[in-house]
Structure 1
Amino acid sequence: MKVAILGCGAIGGVVARAVRDGEVPGAELVGVVHAERTDPPGLPVLDVEAAIEQADLIVECAGQRALAELGPSIVAAGTDLLVVSVGALADDALLAKLRDTGPGRLHLCSGAIGGLDVLAAAARMGGLSEVRIVTTKKATTLIQKWMDEPAAQRLRTAVEPVELMRAPARAVTAAFPASANVAASVALAVGDWDLVEAAVVADPEAPLTSHVITAEGSAGDYRFEIRNHPSPANPATSGVVPHAVLAAVGRLAAPTGAFA
């Protein structure tokens, strides 16, 4: 399977080099598409059109805006698309374009969390009555462009945890696009953006990024707690994310014997 990577930052760079080095059986890197002025060393660089033409699968690691701008043309051309920035799919129109128009297929990466298969099964069995996710990150990584300077300074100088937002997953995903892909993943798994309540907590002393997911329904009660080390290259994301992407690419390249 020929693979192109869209984005070559803290996630895409790791993924591209691992595929290039043969670490994913059945996958071959054709190149990376990136927006930086300087090309990444040791990696072939393509424009989007060449990536669509040459790749069987394009892996999106470039953020929500890039996915919205480029994703529809990728699947419309018949190339499969693996999405990391699932928060962008809070836009129902974009999700419909990527999922329903084809002929390229849409695949989603679980990223920094697990348990999505169980939540999806429970939702299918009899529905879920409550679903919550609380994401806690180091305070300075949660500063957003929409915040005024006093709010940003509050996070820079925080000495105790601060809950920044608690709202339906769609609203939290829009407010924290680089930090709330996990909330979007939970909402997509259970099939209900309005059911999932998401909270974002800024903790100046947080050594790890944590996600606590709880759900209740006729199938049972569930609680998952995930605690990830931040990426050394970008503390706003978890270091495990590129490896979740590589696992997903591996399942698509050689699916025999792998969990679906």
Structure 2
Amino acid sequence: MNGTLRVGLVGWGAIGRAVGTALTEHRIPGAELVCVVDNRPLGDAAPAPQVSFDEALERCDLIVEAAGQGVVREWGERVLASGTDLLIASTGALTDEELSERLRAAGPGRVYFTGGAVGGLDLLQAVRSLGPLDEVRLTTTKLPGTLEQPWMDEELLSRLRSATGPVEVMCGTAREVPVKFPKSTNVAASVALAVGDLDAVRVRVVADPGAHHTRHVVEASGAHGSYRFDVAHLPDPANPATSQVVPHAVLRSLAALAGRTGQIL
């Protein structure tokens, strides 16, 4: 692309701070942080002006969502309709197929998704062109405290809090699980995006008090081959529900969009 990519960042949490700091330090050549959107007054905490969403659309070529699924639902289509591109970190929002279809159809802005804490999505997307996969399984293992949710009953909460080893918290499809764990299971939606079928991806969520690393194991098989990706990340100290690597996945996506050569696409 020509010129500098003007980036607006939505969310100044664990992911947003890491992304915004890297942009401010010019670690992504060709990309510049021009504003931050957050529902809290940030004062001098942010290295770029804090503005309204409407003003961000006027200033930016690209909006980076780092604030949760609600932002994607509320603002996604409007961003794209304004002609601004959108990079989504909270892919769990795309378990709403109607929203997913509307975002893909919206424009003239373009929508992109970052792979976040799991690898192999590019390969699964390529394999999908050969034909459907017969089986896709994801097992996500995290610390119990990061998985507690308001909908859980006392029996399940007690099992989580008293666990001395792995405890299965939920088993379902990539359509069902991210809705129940909106801050912890974007990986399930990302895998489903790669294979093109929310219902084809079976997901197990496991709580383990010994899980010093957040672990995602993807297993897929079909007529053309079998695939297994096993990743283990340190949780982010500021937000243990996400992995330390997630903002760096966002930055890798930004580097590709800014035109950095040598990228694996």
Q: TM-score range by the shorter chain?
A: over 0.9
The aligned residue for residue 223 of structure 1 is 228
Find the partner of 1:22 among 19, 23, 26.
Answer: 26
Find the partner of 2:172 among 167, 171, 194.
Answer: 167
- Secondary structure, in 3 states, of the residue corresponding to 1:235? strand
The aligned residue for residue 13 of structure 2 is 9
Matched letter for residue 256 of structure 1:
T
Matched letter for residue 183 of structure 1:
A
Q: Distance in 2 between matches of 1:169 and 1:31?
A: 33
Matched letter for residue 128 of structure 1:
L
Instruction: Please report how far the alpha carbon of residue 153 of structure 1 lies from its aligned counterpart in structure 2 after TM superposition.
Output: 3.3
Q: Distance in 2 between matches of 1:15 and 1:174?
A: 25
Q: Runs of 4 or more off by more than 6 Å in structure 1?
A: none
Q: Distance in 2 between matches of 1:99 and 1:194?
A: 19
Change (3 A) 1:160 1:40: farther
The aligned residue for residue 37 of structure 2 is 33
Structure 2 unaligned spans of 5+:
none
Change (3 A) 1:231 1:29: same
Counting aligned pairs with the same residue, the percent is 51
The aligned residue for residue 105 of structure 1 is 110
Matched letter for residue 70 of structure 1:
W
Matched letter for residue 243 of structure 1:
H
- Please tell me whether the aligned partners of residues 89 and 116 of structure 2 are also in contact (alpha carbons under 8 angstroms): yes
**TM-score of the two chains, using structure 1 as the length reference:** 0.97
- Please tell me whether the aligned partners of residues 163 and 199 of structure 1 are also in contact (alpha carbons under 8 angstroms): yes
Structure 1 unaligned spans of 5+:
none
Instruction: Please report how far the alpha carbon of residue 257 of structure 1 lies from its aligned counterpart in structure 2 after TM superposition.
Output: 3.1
- Please tell me whether the aligned partners of residues 214 and 233 of structure 2 are also in contact (alpha carbons under 8 angstroms): yes
- Please tell me whether the aligned partners of residues 29 and 260 of structure 2 are also in contact (alpha carbons under 8 angstroms): no
The aligned residue for residue 86 of structure 2 is 81
Q: Distance in 1 between matches of 2:106 and 2:137?
A: 31
Instruction: Please report how far the alpha carbon of residue 180 of structure 1 lies from its aligned counterpart in structure 2 after TM superposition.
Output: 1.0
Q: Distance in 1 between matches of 2:156 and 2:210?
A: 18
Instruction: Please report how far the alpha carbon of residue 255 of structure 1 lies from its aligned counterpart in structure 2 after TM superposition.
Output: 4.2
- Secondary structure, in 3 states, of the residue corresponding to 2:238? coil
The aligned residue for residue 96 of structure 1 is 101
Q: Distance in 2 between matches of 1:122 and 1:203?
A: 32
How many residues get paired?
260
Instruction: Please report how far the alpha carbon of residue 97 of structure 1 lies from its aligned counterpart in structure 2 after TM superposition.
Output: 1.9
The aligned residue for residue 190 of structure 1 is 195
Matched letter for residue 16 of structure 1:
G
Instruction: Please report how far the alpha carbon of residue 37 of structure 1 lies from its aligned counterpart in structure 2 after TM superposition.
Output: 3.7
- Please tell me whether the aligned partners of residues 8 and 40 of structure 1 are also in contact (alpha carbons under 8 angstroms): no
**TM-score of the two chains, using structure 2 as the length reference:** 0.95
- Please tell me whether the aligned partners of residues 42 and 50 of structure 2 are also in contact (alpha carbons under 8 angstroms): no
1:201 equivalent to 2:210? Answer no
CA offset digits 1:77-96 (Å, max 9, x no partner): 01000000000001111112
Instruction: Please report how far the alpha carbon of residue 40 of structure 1 lies from its aligned counterpart in structure 2 after TM superposition.
Output: 5.4
- Secondary structure, in 3 states, of the residue corresponding to 2:175? helix
Q: Distance in 2 between matches of 1:150 and 1:194?
A: 28
Change (3 A) 1:21 1:129: same
Find the partner of 1:63 among 59, 68, 88.
Answer: 68
Q: Distance in 1 between matches of 2:46 and 2:239?
A: 21
Instruction: Please report how far the alpha carbon of residue 152 of structure 1 lies from its aligned counterpart in structure 2 after TM superposition.
Output: 2.3
Q: Distance in 2 between matches of 1:190 and 1:206?
A: 28
Matched letter for residue 130 of structure 2:
M
The aligned residue for residue 244 of structure 1 is 249
Instruction: Please report how far the alpha carbon of residue 39 of structure 1 lies from its aligned counterpart in structure 2 after TM superposition.
Output: 3.4
For the aligned residues, what is the CA RMSD? Answer: 1.2
- Secondary structure, in 3 states, of the residue corresponding to 1:24? coil
Change (3 A) 1:171 1:42: closer
Instruction: Please report how far the alpha carbon of residue 63 of structure 1 lies from its aligned counterpart in structure 2 after TM superposition.
Output: 0.2
- Please tell me whether the aligned partners of residues 8 and 61 of structure 1 are also in contact (alpha carbons under 8 angstroms): yes
Instruction: Please report how far the alpha carbon of residue 36 of structure 1 lies from its aligned counterpart in structure 2 after TM superposition.
Output: 1.8
Q: Distance in 1 between matches of 2:132 and 2:99?
A: 25
